[in-house]
Amino acid sequence: MTVFDALIGQDHVVEVLQTAATTGTGMTHAWLFTGPPGSGRSVAARAFAAALQCAQGGCGECHECHTAMGGSHPDVTVVVPAGLHLLIAEAREIVASSARAPVLGRWQITVIEDADRMEERTGNTLLKALEEPPPRGVFLLCAPSPEDLLPTIRSRCRLVTLRIPPYDAVAGYLVSEGIDRETAEFAARAAQGHVGRARRLARDDEARRRRRDVLDLPTQVATVGGCFAAAASLVDAAREEASVITGELDVAETTALRDALGDTGGRGKARPRGAAGAISDLERRQKSRATRTQRDALDRALIDLAAFYRDVLAAQVGAGVDLVNVDLTRSIRALAESSSPESTLRRIEAVLACREAIDTNVAPLLAVEAMALALHAG
C-alpha cells in the first residue's frame, strides 16, 4: 500500500513522483500537474505532498502520510478556489503561508487545485513566490493544460502530464472498493474514465437518474417548444444538483461563523462589531461557489451529451469502436438511422460551442437554449 494507489492508470507519473520523493532526482520547488478532468491531477498532487513528507517516500501507513492525505498535516496546505476565481487576497495569503518554515515535516507544501482559475493579477502575485521560493517551500499546481496558466508561471514549474485512465483500470479500482463487476464496467465507461464520477455513478441512484435525464434530451428537441423546455429542464437540474452539493456546506459554514463571532441572532440583540461584514462576505463567497458548482454540473451534463452524439456518429460511419453509452444502444442506433453524419457533427459542434459560451460567462439558460435549437435544426 502506498499513497499513490488511488492514482489509476498513471504508472509513468507515479515513477517520476516516487523517484523525486525518495532520491531527490528531478526535485524542484514548483510542479504543474495537468490533464483532462478525471485524470487525477489533484489526487497526484496530494499523494506527492504526502510522499515528500514521508521518510519512506509515501508508504501510506505512517502519521505523515495519513495527515497529509487527510488534510490535517500542518505543513501541507491545500487551496481549492471556492468561487469562479482565486481571489488576489487568497493568493497573498498563499504566498505568506508558503514562506513559513515547516513545523513538523521536511517541506512547507502548498497544493493549489484549479490553478487555472487565477486571473492575471492573481497569478502575478503568486509569481513572486515562484521567482524567489522559500528554502523548504514547494508549490504543486493543478490545471487542465499548461496554456491555462501565465507563461511566466508555467516556465518555472516542472510539468507532469496525466491522461484519462483506461476503462478497465477504473473498473478494476471500483471492484476493489466492493462494486460488482457489471456495475463497475458500466460506471467506468459512462464516466469516460473519470474516477470520481465513475464512483458516483456506481454508488448513487440519483447520479444515474440525472445522467439518463440528460441523455433523453436528443429526443426532446423535435419541436421549437420542446427545445426551450428541454433547455430549462437541463439548467434546472444543474441548479438542483449544485444546491444539494452546497446547501449543507453553506448552513454549516454560516453556523460556525456566527458561533465564532458570538452572533446568536436573537431579536433585539445588537450584533458584535464586524459580524455583519463578515457574514456578508461569507454569503458573497457562498453565492460565487454556488454559481461555479452549477456551471460545473452543467458542464458534466454537456460532456455526457457530446459523448452520446459521438456514439451516434461512430454508428453512422461504422467506426468499429466501443460505445461510451452501451446502455443506450437502441436510442443511439435509432438516431443514427434517422440522421446523417454531417448533422451529427453539427450537433457535436453545438454542444461544444455551448460549453465554450458558458465558460466565457454567457448566461447558462441562453447558451443551452441556443444549443437546443441547433440540435433541433441539425
What pLDDT, on the 0 to 100 scale, is given for residue 274? 63
Tell me the fold of 11-161: Rossmann fold (3.40.50)
**Overall residue count recorded for the chain in this entry:** 378
Least Cα distance to 165 among 74, 339, 308, 43 occurs for 43
**Residue 281 to residues 13, 92, 263, 325, 360, Cα–Cα distance (Å):** 40, 18, 15, 43, 25
Domain ranges of the chain: 11-161, 167-203, 224-377
CB-based contacts of 88, cutoff 8 Å, min separation 6:
119, 121, 122, 125
What are the φ/ψ torsions at residue 311 (nearest 5 degrees)?
A: -65, -40
What pLDDT, on the 0 to 100 scale, is given for residue 15? 95
What pLDDT, on the 0 to 100 scale, is given for residue 132? 87
Provide block-wise average pLDDT over 10 residues at a time, the chain (378 residues). 90 94 93 91 95 93 92 90 76 87 89 88 87 90 92 94 92 93 94 89 91 93 94 91 77 73 59 69 74 87 95 94 92 95 97 93 94 92
How many Å is the Cα radius of gyration of the chain? 23
Write down the pTM of the prediction. 0.77
- By CB atoms closer than 10 A (0-12, 13-18, 19+), residue 320 is exposed
Rounded Cα–Cα distance for residues 308 and 324 (Å)? 7
What pLDDT, on the 0 to 100 scale, is given for residue 286? 74
Determine how many CB atoms are found less than 10 A away from the CB of residue 124.
15
Rounded Cα–Cα distance for residues 188 and 174 (Å)? 8
Least Cα distance to 140 among 152, 153, 150, 122 occurs for 153
**Residue 4 to residues 43, 63, 69, 193, Cα–Cα distance (Å):** 8, 16, 10, 18
Least Cα distance to 108 among 52, 156, 54, 70 occurs for 52
CATH, domain 224-377, list 1.10.3470, 1.20.272, 3.90.1690, 1.10.287: 1.20.272
64 within 8 A of 55, measured Cβ to Cβ: yes
Rounded Cα–Cα distance for residues 281 and 83 (Å)? 12
- Across 267-301, b (16+ Cβ under 10 Å) vs e yields eeeebeeebeebbeebeeebebbbbbbbbebbbbb
